[in-house]
Amino acid sequence: MRLNRRELLAGTAATAAMAFGMGPLAAQEGGDIVLGGSIPLTGVFAFAGVGIHAGIQDYLKILNDGGGIKGRKIKYVAEDTAYKVDASVAAFNKITSQEKVSLYYGDSTGFSKTINPELERRGTMIMAGASFATELNDPKKFPLQFMAGPDYTEMFGILLRYIAKEKPGARVAFVYSDTEFGRDPIVPGEAVAKELKLNVVEKIVTPPGSVDVSTEVLKLRRANPDFTIFHGYVLAPIPEFVTQAKQMGMKSQFMGTFWTMDNSTVQRMGDAADGFMGVMPYRYYYDKDGTAPMLEKIRQMRTEYQSTGYLQGFVTAMLMAEAVKR
């Protein structure tokens, strides 16, 4: 059984309280609370990493400028990993050997799984990160980790239920990267599609990043899906895929999970982006509907558009701080 988000945050807060030893007055004592980070500032997912890094920094600036948490500031210490598990583990070991770390941001599913035994052995920190891996969304197996949004299988479920409502019995294709990130929701996604009586007519796998997708686009056109879901990418090769597909006359509606939904992806597609949609757990930088005090603060700090990665880093840091407060 999975916990709902309210239960998960409550559990995270309880874990944080144990990790920090926070009784009524404990948070007023001691030095900075340290948030360590394995961040992909270079490499295939650098676009996301740079945004995440800035989002964490900005939230902590707002928090610390306001007095921190009962007088204690959160200090952010990050290392570049280039989205490589061995580099992420090395960064973790370096940071935790030099600092008394209580919070940690991980860059990938592989890292989060690899480091979990060490997290449990230490029992002194909680972790979240860029991964929304289905496997990680299990408080029994990963009690010291949480995620700031739905997991990848839940994202697929959101899209597939939308498809089933819009066009019962629709033909669906999955296009995903040849990474643990990319493969995560494919098998459970097929199971959900079957339950919804949707037909998965094609599954296409590519390397992440900038690659020639002309052969894969031809394969997709032959399958002729009504809907195509992208997963496991940040930017490329989605714009190339969609643009070429529409140039060939394809009418498929293109969709994506969270990491495909940045505005820059849409901008690179130009007119071909018309109709592109997907899962976005947060509000966009430019969203001005209703009252959003934090978004207003972000826009005051940064006058230009900030990516979905930025917002993910910002919200994750905010949830970590909230867990500490509780």
pLDDT at 21 over 90: no
- Copy the structure tokens of residue 317: 């840091």
How many percent of the chain have pLDDT more than 70?
91
**For residue 210, what pLDDT band results from cuts at 50, 70 and 90?**
confident
Distance CA 296, CA 162 (A): 31
Distance CA 74, CA 125 (A): 13
pLDDT at 3 over 80: no
**For residue 22, what pLDDT band results from cuts at 50, 70 and 90?**
very low
**What are the Cα distances from residue 103, in Å, to 87, 199, 297?**
19, 43, 24
Pairing of β 199-206 and β 126-129: unpaired
Q: What is the pLDDT of residue 30?
A: 72
| pTM, two decimal places | 0.90
Average pLDDT across the chain, whole number:
92
249-277 confidence digits (pLDDT tens): 999 999 999 999 999 999 999 999 999 99
61-86 confidence digits (pLDDT tens): 999 999 999 999 999 999 999 999 99
281-312 confidence digits (pLDDT tens): 999 999 999 999 999 999 999 999 999 999 99
Q: Give the 3-state secondary structure of residue 275.
A: coil
Highest mean pLDDT among 30-34, 160-164, 231-235, 270-274: 160-164
- Structural domains for the chain: 5-149+293-325 (3.40.50.2300), 152-278 (3.40.50.2300)
Tally Cβ neighbours within 10 Å of residue 101: 22
Pairing of β 199-206 and β 227-231: unpaired
Q: What is the CA radius of gyration of the chain?
A: 20
128-177 confidence digits (pLDDT tens): 999 999 999 999 999 999 999 999 999 999 999 999 999 999 999 999 99
269, amino acid identity: M
